[in-house]
Amino acid sequence: MKFTWRILLTVLITGVAVFYIACNKNNLNVPPPTPTEASYFSSEAAFRTAILGVYAVLNDYFSTSNSAGGSGSAELETFFLPGDDLTCQAEEPYEVFGNNLNSTQGKIQQIWASSYILINRANKVLDKIEKETGVYTTPNLKNWNKGEVLFLRGYAHFMLWNIFGTAPLDTTDFTSLEQLNPPNSSGTQLLDQAINDFSQAASLLPPSWDSVDIGRVTANGAYGMLGKALVFRATVNKSNDDYQAAIAAFNKISGASLVANFEDNFDVNHENNSESLFEYQAGPPIAGLGSTNAWLANDAVNIGVCSSFWQCFYNGPGTYMGGGLYTATHKFKNAFDAGDPRLPLTIDTSDNFILKYVLHGDVLEGAVNSLNNVRILRYADVLLLEAEALTQSGGDASQAIGLINEVRTRARNMIASGTEPANFDESETNKDTIIQWIMDERLRELGAEGGRWFDVRRWAMGGEITLDKSFFNSTWPSLTWDAHYLNFPIPSTEIDKNPNIKQNPGY
Amino acid sequence: MFKQKILLQKILFTLVINVAYFTVYAQQNQTFTGSIIDSTNQIGIPNVSVKVKSNSKIATLSDANGNFKITAPQGSVLVFSSVNYKTLELQTSNELSLKVVLAPSSSQLDEVVVIGYGTRKKRDLTGAYSTVDSKDITKSTAMTPELALQGQAPGVTVISGGGDPSARPTVYIRGVSSFNYSDPLYVIDGIPIEEGGRGATTDPTNDPTRRTPINLFTIINPNDIASMTVLKDATATAVYGVRGANGVILITTKSGKKGKVRVDVDALYGSSKIPKTYSFLNTQQYVKFITDAYNAHPDPDPIGGNLAIGDAPEFGPVWDPSSSKYLGNSPTYDWQNAIQNHDAKIQNYNARVSGASDNTNYNFSFGYANNDGPFLGVNQERYSISSNVNSKIGKYIQTGLNLRLIQEKTIDANIGGITNDLNIFQAAPWQPIYDNTNPYGYAPLWSLNQPITPGTFDVSPLWQSTLGPSAAMGNYLGLLATNSAPTTHQTFLGSGYVQLEPVTGLKIRGTLSGQDLMLVTNSFISFDSWQYGQTPNNPYSGVKNPISGQRYNKVGIDNSSTISLNKSLNVDYVHRFGNYNNIDVTLDASQEEWEWKTNGVSTFITSDDPDLRYFNATGNETGYTELNGDYVLIGYLGRISYNYNSKYYIDVLARRDGSSRFAEGHQWGTFPAASGAWRISQEKFMHDLKFINDLKIRGGYGVLGNEQTTAGWKYLSVESVNPPSYNLGNPNVNNLGAAFEVAPNPDITWEKKRSMNIGFDALLFNQTVTLTFDYYHNVTKGIIQSVNLTPSSGVQLPSDINIADVLNRGIEIQAGYKHSFGKVNFSVTGNISTVHNEVLSLVNHTALRGNTYSLEEGYPIGYLWGYKVGGIFQNQKEIDDWNKTHHDNLSTQQAPGDYYFQDLYGQPTPGSTAHNLTKDSIVDANDQTYLGKTIPSYTYGFTLSANYLGFDVSAFFYGVGDVQKYNDMRAEGESLTTNGRNQFTSVLNAWTPDNHSTTMPRAVWNDPNNNNRFSNRFIENAGYLRLQNLQIGYTVPQKWLEKTKAIHSFRLYLSGVNLFTITNYSGVDPVNDAYPSTRQFLIGANASF
């Protein structure tokens, strides 16, 4: 009898224990500690936050720290240094080209990676916007958000075309490993994509945003970039239609105007002004979080730093990442009329230091970064592009010259009864002369703003200009020029992994 | 069995009584017949030698059935001996028919080995196990259990973490079977130890990780360990299935033994230092060197010509010999000497009380250790207590409780990202160390601008213009004087069980166990420390509304805790039927849950008071992070072990495991294994081979699952833990964004390791020789790799993918020999293990390239990958000739004294990463190739020991062979291009027009030829043989101790650790260049009362 009880009790205990330990398979479903993509996009606020995540990749282009594509290093070098406006005190491959401009260069790898991070985030949000039902209740907001994301995706494609030329096209959300290893694009495919995105965005975006959202892209920004990209494509393809389409896009910009004071374009106190169509919003760290060391990506938190990197122009402690400052080439300095009011606001003629963005030393934060926004597209640029489009497409020459003069007039008027720069003769009809005026005016007006190389590159591709060593006016005798440098090398980080991609010729 | 014992005793008793009586009689011959049987199975034992003790010429052997016949003088003492049995002496009487029962000798074969869920005698093992017992562990004087394993267990590779007492060693068993995480599973008294965030110090998926670089296993006092068993093949490890794929190390702690209360006391005391330092340039040599290097590639003057070094922006006037501040006039400071702790002590004390009564055994231990690192400021202090009690309650119930509490305080060689190690040799030799005028006594790197006001921050023009921020080395001693970052660990391990034995042989055990690992790092960064840091950091940076003149110190706290709870139910039934059939059935079900949480916060405080370094001192929290990862495993196990007469063995088992780390549908895996053994020496036909005392042939095959290589939730797209942010609005406000930075892999599932093992265990030549041989062949299928996707995917963080198959195969031999020369007992034991590691396949056959390593089919994991040096150009003609047929894409300027690199391959065909064997005359990234492997082909260890009277001496050697290493330190010290940091004295032999070196290129600023690209220039053979431990001991004779009536045993010893290393490696230590293993001299004592 006792024996039976013992067995019975044992079986009972064992049974209960087995049931308790092993039969609850739901125990394996442990929820993750952060929201999942599947559950996240359930409110307008969530979309807003995710879209800010797309904008945030602009930090990689214009800020020094926490680059998602690399770390702790501004990518500015890759588009500021080539071209004929700037020279660096250190011998940088982006300026002197040559063998050091190769696929292992970290900055090339970073700007490549960052561009695709931006595109990937944009594609994901775009996919969610298109699939959502019933989340958006605010009128028009869905369109506006879609427009923003398209614009940002277009901008990244625009950058990729200008830097690499043949980088892969990427327009779908990355959801499967099957999508890995895309092949190169060719021709102007990247630019075509940018134009499509800008064009769609322009039709969706609002003319302006509420004060809390200032800095988000507007319809004007999209039309401006659309026109710019069309002019770029037209320069290469010689397409009259593109020039016409560009003019049409520029004409849809409404309410933008040149600010009276040229300096306002680089002044932290006059950000997002009427001339500015799209800018990178640098700013202070998140309140309460303090700032982290801008030099390091491995700080305790990598949020809180959203500032642009202007140490490349600023003679502060230390030089640019152990390299040198960017200074104006003699060509850039000499491009100005002596009395051009823009000159003292652009270049310190005694030492060739660049003054744009750093004229007021007080904007530097931590002696490294700046709270000053980067003006990515301003109306002066649009006016000059439109002048170019008009001239190239056989439009009204005097109208085109008038647009150049609009830019010059603003400069001249900064000094009461100023005489320089004088207006160009509006009766000029020689196309080459007008184009040369435009090219030179673009250098004077827009030099050292990070767009010069893209201009030089497209003009060279379109046969407008011929590049040689002397064109760049570098202080470095080691500068070597060859046409293959028009496209930078596909980074080794991509080449080593992606068997379907081909290196650009010459590398 | 019990009856036979009584019978034997009866016989003996009778015989002894009769001795006195019979010896009186005159000696006559008598003929004795009888049978000799095995006490365990009552089978006749053949070949037993039967001799007359007084006249060994009278001798015979038992026949195949164990029967014998011998004629001996009346009253003789007969000696029965056989290698596998205890020798028995028998006083004969008039009883002429004898039944002799021999008990098996207690050879190594009777040692009880702890296996997964149970114990087994060594003779009955069918899988691959290695064991290390407490004697060897204590002898190693190592402070952590893994280091005690180094070289002792074949198949186990232990790579020391260096001289820091709390550094993590790297441990892997039978090669590296996975890319990310190859650590074995540690099980302490049945509790699997798992540390949250393990796998990497920086977890790319959850950066920043809160796992400290401190070794978890410093929590275990090796003196508490009774044995360590390493489970290596599928049958052995499958019982821990889920987490056993990388092998399992079972640590069993000591428990009480029957007898009187016993008190053991161990003490160890000694000193520790690094054996070698680097030879660096003095100030004069350094200044000349850098000036020459600059002149070889000077900066161009914008006006034309070149700038003199004194005018170059990155140098400045202090390099101008005509300057009054010329650096060449500065003294030389020896930083390597200054940062060492020349008085580093090692102390380790333990006390243990143990005992057992009929129903209860107990063991209590207390330990204290205090170890200095070889560099200043590094220390580890540990208190440990443990208690192990097992008790029988009534007839059917047994219960036990095992508790362990460890409190440890660790200060590692790292403050604020600066590490105190031999990298300091790179400090410019003129960089002063001490400064009497500085409040802390150390030389600041940056000029003082006191009081510092927010927004102003002066960097010393001298430092800045001379070296730039990246060239100076932080003054670690100054940082040490101002900052602190001790880590406190508190670890609690506990397990309790209740075991029912309702029927003899059936045991049902329910176990509840858990661990709680707590880590707290309290950091304090003094405002004043800014002057010693190597980057110019405004101490006010980030302070909200700083008040002028107000000092802001930063305090931070980082917590990490891992809490686990394991429930298991184990049913074990042992039964014997027929005469020879033994069966053991085990069923087990378990659920293990882990909760891992880390959080960190920092703030600024104005107080300098060391007692007020906590949060609410001022309360201005600046950053908070929290991470967590929970994790659950459920597993079922069934195992049937059968043996026939301890001759034929078969083990069959199956597991079914579920892991929360995979998506539903991929969570469960089934993993079978089987093994068998044949003790061939038990066969009659083997009995003629007398030199074989025991021989067992084993073999097994099984599949193991592994999911430790994935951090969890990789099947889901989750929001990034580090949100991006962007400014918007007027006024500008920084807004948090959101990003999904991982490409989820919903199909991710178990890695499956197919493990095959064949081997034998032999006991030879009168048990003087032991030999174990194993061949293993493991293929891990579907290894989970964290893969950084192609950048064009735009996916930022790596995805976990079942990506590759990897082979590890090799042999393991363990051998021992012992012999006595008179009173000198001598023994040698050794082992050698080989690993052939090879990546068998990768997704799409595409190689994965890292910066300096590569994963590629047909090559070992993580092999070194880079350029191959061709030679050094000796003159311009050689350069011109070379350039006729080649072009180096990575070079901007070639001059005599520069390297040329080999053109090995052409551009790969699109779609492939395979080398194109057609050379293209261009030296570029495609010419990177195999340069060496980082997994040693073989590791070995051997111990020579001898004792004479009370003296014992043992020497333990450890070595690894056929392994290559990139000598990072030499790559810095012989870079010949230096950003201002110091170089090895070997650069004095650099190529110059007068010194046509063929091994050391020219010194040149900025390295225009890229001589420093990752190449075989700095790859060296890193094999070595080290005298790891030499120990001389003296055990006080028992008879002296008996007089004390208190001391039971006493041994005193001297030990030298890491006394010499034979290696071709040029660095200070083939294992760790910056933080070499220390040389230690220790004195110790073991006493028991």
pLDDT (tens digit per residue) in B328-383: 888 889 999 999 999 999 898 999 898 888 888 898 999 998 989 899 888 989 89
Report the C-alpha gap between B859 and A434 in whole angstroms.
Answer: 63
Which of B194-198, B693-697, B702-706, B1066-1070 comes out lowest in average pLDDT? B194-198
Inter-residue contact B454 to B548 (CB < 8 Å): yes
Flag if B925 and A475 touch (Cβ within 8 Å).
no
Full-model pTM: 0.77
Q: What is the mean pLDDT of chain A?
A: 86
Q: Cβ–Cβ contacts within 10 Å for residue B97, how many?
A: 8
Is residue A343 within a helix (H) or strand (E), and if so which, with residue range? helix A342-346
Average pLDDT over residues B1019-1027: 92
Flag if B925 and A492 touch (Cβ within 8 Å).
yes
The three-class DSSP label of residue B398 is strand
Which residues of B, range 1015-1044, sit inside 8 Å of A by Cβ?
Answer: none
- Strands A369-370 and B77-81 turn out to be unpaired
Flag if B623 and A289 touch (Cβ within 8 Å).
yes
Q: What is the largest CA-CA distance in chain B?
A: 125
Asked if pLDDT for residue B1062 goes beyond 90, the answer is: yes
Q: Which residue of A has its CA nearest to B546?
A: A290
Residues of B in contact with A298 (CB under 8 A): 208, 417
Flag if B910 and A293 touch (Cβ within 8 Å).
no
Q: Mind listing the pLDDT tens digit for each residue in B922-939?
A: 888 889 899 998 888 998
Inter-residue contact B1047 to B1087 (CB < 8 Å): yes
A458 pLDDT band (50/70/90 cuts)? very high
B643 pLDDT band (50/70/90 cuts)? confident
User: Rounded to a whole number, what is the distance in Å from the CA of A324 to chain B's nearest CA?
Assistant: 8
| pLDDT at site B414 | 76
Q: What is the mean pLDDT of chain B?
A: 81
- The minimal CB distance from B502 to the residues A7, A475, A495 is found for A7
B85 pLDDT band (50/70/90 cuts)? confident
Which residues of B, range 402-441, sit inside 8 Å of A by Cβ?
Answer: 417
- The minimal CB distance from A211 to the residues B544, B729, B801 is found for B729
Q: A261's torsion region: left (phi>0), alpha (psi -120 to 50) or beta?
A: beta
Q: Mind listing the pLDDT tens digit for each residue in B790-834?
A: 899 988 887 888 878 889 899 999 898 988 888 888 889 888 999
Flag if B628 and A33 touch (Cβ within 8 Å).
yes
Quick one: what percent of chain B has pLDDT higher than 70?
A: 86
Inter-residue contact B166 to B409 (CB < 8 Å): no
User: Rounded to a whole number, what is the distance in Å from the CA of A167 to chain B's nearest CA?
Assistant: 8
Q: Mind listing the pLDDT tens digit for each residue in B596-631?
A: 887 777 777 777 777 777 665 444 555 566 666 788
Q: Which residue of A has its CA nearest to B666?
A: A28
| H runs (alpha helix) in B934-1047 | 968-973, 1038-1044
A324 pLDDT band (50/70/90 cuts)? confident
Which of B670-679, B979-988, B1008-1017 comes out lowest in average pLDDT? B979-988
Residues 6+ apart with CB under 8 A from A195: A154, A226, A229, A230, A233
The three-class DSSP label of residue B179 is coil
Which residues of B, range 149-208, sit inside 8 Å of A by Cβ?
Answer: 208
Question: In Å, how far are A314, A366, B458, B537 from B542, measured between CA atoms?
Answer: 21, 8, 17, 10
Q: Cβ–Cβ contacts within 10 Å for residue B535, how many?
A: 17
Residues of A in contact with B503 (CB under 8 A): 7
Quick one: what percent of chain B has pLDDT higher than 90?
A: 12
Quick one: what percent of chain A has pLDDT higher than 90?
A: 58
Task: Tell me the two tokens of residue B216.
Answer: 């978890």
Could you please report the per-residue DSSP string of B732-781? TEEEE---------TT---EEEEEEEEEEEEEETTTTEEEEEEEEEEEEE
Residues of B in contact with A18 (CB under 8 A): 569, 589
Q: What is the largest CA-CA distance in chain A?
A: 122
| pLDDT at site B620 | 52
Q: Is B906 exposed, middle or buried (0-12, 13-18, 19+ CB in 10 A)?
A: middle
Closest of B286, B150, B129, B289 to residue B217, by C-alpha: B150
- The minimal CB distance from A306 to the residues B625, B734, B796 is found for B734
Flag if A46 and B630 touch (Cβ within 8 Å).
no
Flag if A281 and B726 touch (Cβ within 8 Å).
yes
Average pLDDT over residues B1051-1079: 90
Q: Does B932 touch chain A (CB under 8 A)?
A: no
Q: Does B924 touch chain A (CB under 8 A)?
A: yes
User: Rounded to a whole number, what is the distance in Å from the CA of B406 to chain A's nearest CA?
Assistant: 29
Q: Which residue of A has its CA nearest to B601?
A: A300
Average pLDDT over residues B983-995: 88
Flag if B734 and A322 touch (Cβ within 8 Å).
no
A247 pLDDT band (50/70/90 cuts)? very high
| pLDDT at site A298 | 30
Residues of A in contact with B634 (CB under 8 A): 21-22, 25, 27-28
Task: Tell me the two tokens of residue B894.
Answer: 């070639």
Closest of B601, B593, B562 to residue B211, by C-alpha: B562
Flag if B734 and A283 touch (Cβ within 8 Å).
yes
Residues of A in contact with B925 (CB under 8 A): 102-104, 492, 495-496
Q: Does B312 touch chain A (CB under 8 A)?
A: no
Report the C-alpha gap between B898 and B879 in whole angstroms.
Answer: 9
Flag if A181 and B925 touch (Cβ within 8 Å).
no
B411 pLDDT band (50/70/90 cuts)? confident
Residues of B in contact with A116 (CB under 8 A): 791-794
Residues of B in contact with A271 (CB under 8 A): 732
Residues of B in contact with A303 (CB under 8 A): 722-725, 736
Q: Which amino acid is at B450?
A: Q
B206 pLDDT band (50/70/90 cuts)? very low
Inter-residue contact B173 to B246 (CB < 8 Å): yes
Flag if B630 and A30 touch (Cβ within 8 Å).
yes
Flag if A281 and B719 touch (Cβ within 8 Å).
no
Flag if A51 and B542 touch (Cβ within 8 Å).
no
Residues of B in contact with A160 (CB under 8 A): none
Inter-residue contact B118 to B568 (CB < 8 Å): no
Q: Cβ–Cβ contacts within 10 Å for residue A470, how many?
A: 11
| pLDDT at site A128 | 94
User: Rounded to a whole number, what is the distance in Å from the CA of A338 to chain B's nearest CA?
Assistant: 23
Closest of B434, B383, B433 to residue B408, by C-alpha: B383
Closest of A316, A308, A367, A307 to residue B539, by C-alpha: A367
A454 pLDDT band (50/70/90 cuts)? very high
Interface test mutation site (partner B, options A21, A279, A293, max chain B beta carbons within 10 A): A21
Q: A290's torsion region: left (phi>0), alpha (psi -120 to 50) or beta?
A: left
HEC-encoded secondary structure of B489-534 = EEEEEEEEEEEEEEECCEEEEEEEEEEEEEEEEEEEECHHHHHHCC
A391 pLDDT band (50/70/90 cuts)? very high
Asked if pLDDT for residue A299 goes beyond 60, the answer is: no
Average pLDDT over residues B890-919: 85
Q: Which residue of A has its CA nearest to B554?
A: A290
B41 pLDDT band (50/70/90 cuts)? low
Asked if pLDDT for residue A248 goes beyond 60, the answer is: yes
- The minimal CB distance from A18 to the residues B208, B569, B907 is found for B569
Task: Tell me the two tokens of residue B290.
Answer: 């850098």
Half-sphere exposure of A203 (CA within 13 A, CB side): 5
Asked if pLDDT for residue B1 goes beyond 50, the answer is: no
Higher pLDDT, B671 or B646: B671
- The minimal CB distance from A216 to the residues B567, B728, B801 is found for B728
User: Rounded to a whole number, what is the distance in Å from the CA of B932 to chain A's nearest CA?
Assistant: 20
User: Rounded to a whole number, what is the distance in Å from the CA of A353 to chain B's nearest CA?
Assistant: 14
User: Rounded to a whole number, what is the distance in Å from the CA of A27 to chain B's nearest CA?
Assistant: 7
Flag if A36 and B544 touch (Cβ within 8 Å).
no
Closest of B288, B374, B280, B290 to residue B970, by C-alpha: B280
Asked if pLDDT for residue B951 goes beyond 70, the answer is: yes
Flag if B728 and A367 touch (Cβ within 8 Å).
no
